[in-house]
């Protein structure tokens, strides 16, 4: 099948197919005498595999590893599980970081709701103080 048909069936753009080829996630297809690419039928499954793995939070590098493991036996299942566990740990850390940022922003918004004379933006204050030095050249910030 040609690029546009593959892209349509897999739910991606033709540019995405080219990108996956450059990244080694999709094998470059042979070309027809006309110069058009001729993807095999299983290319749809490969592209959908990549998209589903992305939806589960895997990076393209990790997806490459998963694709290599996909054709293997039971030992490959253990390797895939270890990869998924590492990704879960990374995602948990990212979620915790995002929750801290959300809490910090919520506090800033609450400060912004105070009457103007009672406001003191903690973020701007901290950023300002971190760059301030005293007469001796020492940082006056925290």
DSSP string, 92-126: HHHHHHHHHHHHHHHHHHHHHTS-GGG---HHHHH
Residue 47 lies in a domain: yes
Contact 6, 39 (CB under 8 A): yes
**How confident is residue 133, by pLDDT bands cut at 50, 70 and 90?**
low
Q: Three-state DSSP class for 19? A: helix
Q: Count structural domains, the chain.
A: 1
**Is residue 110 situated within a structural domain?**
no
**DSSP code per residue over 10-37:** HTS-HHHHHHHHHHTSSPPPPB-TTS-B
* Cβ atoms within 10 Å, residue 17: 22
Give the range of the structural domain holding residue 41, as residue numbers without chain letter.
3-71
Write down the pLDDT at residue 111. Answer: 77
pLDDT digit string (tens) for 21-77?
999 999 999 999 998 899 999 999 999 999 999 999 999 999 999 998 887 767 788
> In the structure, what pLDDT confidence band is assigned to residue 115 with cuts at 50, 70 and 90?
confident
């Amino acid at each position: 099948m040609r690029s546009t048909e593959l892209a349509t069936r897999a739910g991606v753009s033709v540019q995405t197919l080219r990108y996956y080829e450059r990244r080694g996630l999709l094998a470059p297809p042979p070309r027809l005498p006309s110069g058009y690419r001729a993807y095999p039928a299983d290319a749809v499954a490969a592209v959908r595999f990549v998209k589903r793995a992305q939806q589960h939070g895997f990076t393209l590098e990790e997806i490459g590893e998963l694709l290599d493991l996909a054709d293997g036996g039971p030992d490959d299942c253990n390797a895939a599980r270890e990869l998924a566990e590492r990704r879960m740990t990374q995602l948990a850390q990212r979620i915790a970081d995002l929750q801290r940022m959300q809490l910090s922003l919520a506090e800033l918004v609450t400060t912004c709701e105070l009457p103007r004379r009672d406001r003191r933006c903690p973020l701007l204050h901290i950023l300002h103080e971190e760059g301030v030095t005293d007469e001796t050249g020492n940082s006056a910030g925290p």
